[in-house]
Amino acid sequence: MARPKSDDKRNALLLAAEQVFAQRGLAAAPTSAISKQAGVAEGTLFTYFRTKDELVNALYRSIKLDLADALMSRFPRQGPVRDRLEYLWNAFVDWGVANPQRLNVLDQLSVADTVSDESKAVGYEPFAEIETLAQTSIKTGVLQAYPVEFVAASMKALAETTMAFMTAYPAEATRYRKVGFEVFWNGVTGNTKS
């Protein structure tokens, strides 16, 4: 009779994969290194994940759901668009500063060919409300009529720049968080102060 699987071992393997991917990169991370980092035999990894690709997809889903919880659990569903986007900005920046390794690995996984369309759909679903907000805000003229994907990518890039400055200059972290959002908001609304 096979032993029941342990959530603790599964979670240890996911954390080990995150650590190894952050250190070595996704392509250069053998399953043996992940097993060693988790403190289990390599065969144990394959008891929980049939392939490295399955492990990659499970990790992608885990990180995306953690990020969704950080952004969406207290997301204000009413109120001015600016306030709602600033809430998302602050939640994302806080999560990224607190979880630099997870952010690094999520960036790698987001462009990995091994992440399935199904995993991408699962990872996207909790954020659908944000896309709807952006589309509605464009239709009503609150935001410029830029492609939503471009706005999202711009927000992410500027937020990651902000995170880097907040980490490098912790005494100025509050200022950089605010300045970063102002630059983003002015860019997507067309507000230019000359």
Vertex 65: Cα angle to 23 and 151 (nearest 5): 85
What per-residue confidence (pLDDT) applies to 190?
Answer: 83
In whole angstroms, what is the distance from residue 63 CA to residue 99 CA?
10
Helix (H, G, I), strand (E, B) or coil at 53: helix
DSSP letters for 159-170? HHHHHHHHHH-G
In whole angstroms, what is the distance from residue 75 CA to residue 25 CA?
32
Place of tokens 């992608």: 60
What per-residue confidence (pLDDT) applies to 193?
Answer: 58
- Spatial CB neighbours of 23, under 8 Å, sequence gap ≥ 6: 29
In whole angstroms, what is the distance from residue 67 CA to residue 103 CA?
9
What per-residue confidence (pLDDT) applies to 4?
Answer: 55
How many angstroms from the chain centroid is the CA of residue 178? 20
Domain boundaries along the sequence of the chain: 7-50, 52-189
* One pLDDT digit (tens) per residue for the chain, 194 residues: 445 577 889 999 999 999 999 999 998 999 999 999 999 988 899 999 999 999 999 999 999 999 999 999 999 999 999 999 999 999 999 999 999 999 999 999 999 999 999 999 999 999 999 999 999 999 999 999 999 999 999 999 999 999 999 999 999 999 999 999 999 999 999 876 54
pTM: 0.90
- Spatial CB neighbours of 135, under 8 Å, sequence gap ≥ 6: 148
Superfamily name with CATH number, domain 52-189 = Tetracycline Repressor, domain 2 (1.10.357.10)
Fold classification of 7-50 is: Arc Repressor Mutant, subunit A (1.10.10)
DSSP letters for 59-103? HHHHHHHHHHHHHHTT--SSS-HHHHHHHHHHHHHHHHHH-HHHH
How many angstroms from the chain centroid is the CA of residue 39? 27
